[in-house]
Every structure is written in structure tokens, then in C-alpha cells.
């Protein structure tokens, strides 16, 4: 009975059932778009696709969910990594362009942007 209690969780007041692995169906047995969602998650997090898809189904039962493009956050992270690599002195603009698939001009533009004020080092 202890194992069964561990599979029930409360999330925002909702009961979420985390099925034991032996009860999880293969992604292909899920209906409609759920099979695609499970397969895509599975390719990124092996062994978690169906489990996470079923959790999403329980959190948003019967609702159409729109997934926004995460481009803004991914670009902010990418730009920060480019700046860190460049400022560290180990990478040239050309090598950063090659590694990221961006043009040298795009790398120049990223490096020309001032870092966020709260992340700047203070001189005094």
C-alpha cells in the first residue's frame, strides 16, 4: 500500500496519479496529439514521455493548451553564453558564429548590446 500512496500527489489542489512504470502504455497507444507529445518528450527525456504526458492530461483535463514559442528565453540564454565565451577571451567572433550557426554580424550585434544592469560588476 505504501507504493500506491506515493503515486498520488497533490498539485494545485488536484490529485495527480503517477502510474507505476508497468502500467504506462507505449506512446503509440495514446490518442491523437498525445502520442506525438509523448514521443517528442521521450526523445528529449528518455523514459519520461508517457509519464509526463499523462501528468499534463491530469493537470489540464479536457482543455486545449497552447504552447508558446520559447524563443525569447532561448535567445537570452544563447546571447549570455556567447558574451561569456567572448569575454572570457577564448573565442573569436568567427568561431562563435560557426559554433552557433549565426553570422558574424549577428554575433557583433549580440556583443554590442550592453549587459543587463543588475548583472554588471560594480567598480566601487
**Does the pLDDT of residue 1 top 50, yes or no?**
no
* pLDDT for the residue numbered 102: 94
Residue 10 belongs to a domain: yes
User: Per residue in 82-93, pLDDT tens?
Assistant: 999 998 888 899
Considering the domain architecture, whether residues 55 and 24 belong to the same structural domain is answered as yes
pTM above 0.75, yes or no: no
pLDDT band at 2 (very low <50, low <70, confident <90, very high): very low
Structural domain count, the chain: 2
Q: Is residue 66 part of a domain?
A: no
Looking at the structure, do residues 54 and 89 belong to the same domain, yes or no?
no
Decide if 82 contacts 107 (C-beta within 8 A): yes
Q: Is residue 64 part of a domain?
A: no
In a domain, 55, yes or no: yes
pLDDT tens-place string over residues 7-24:
566 666 678 888 888 999
CB proximity list for 83: less than 8 A, separation 6 or greater: 110, 111, 115
Query: What is the per-residue pLDDT for 81?
Result: 93
Range of the domain at 113: 71-117
Amino acid at each position: 500500500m505504501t507504493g500506491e500512496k506515493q503515486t498520488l500527489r497533490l498539485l494545485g489542489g488536484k490529485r495527480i496519479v503517477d502510474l507505476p512504470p508497468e502500467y504506462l502504455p507505449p506512446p503509440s497507444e495514446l490518442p491523437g496529439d498525445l502520442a506525438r507529445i509523448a514521443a517528442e518528450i521521450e526523445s528529449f527525456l528518455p523514459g519520461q514521455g508517457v509519464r509526463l504526458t499523462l501528468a499534463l492530461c491530469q493537470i489540464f483535463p479536457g482543455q486545449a493548451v497552447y504552447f508558446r514559442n520559447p524563443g525569447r528565453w532561448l535567445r537570452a540564454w544563447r546571447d549570455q553564453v556567447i558574451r561569456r565565451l567572448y569575454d572570457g577571451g577564448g573565442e573569436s567572433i568567427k568561431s562563435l558564429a560557426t559554433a552557433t550557426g549565426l553570422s558574424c554580424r549577428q554575433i557583433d550585434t549580440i556583443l554590442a548590446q550592453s549587459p543587463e544592469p543588475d548583472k554588471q560588476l560594480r567598480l566601487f
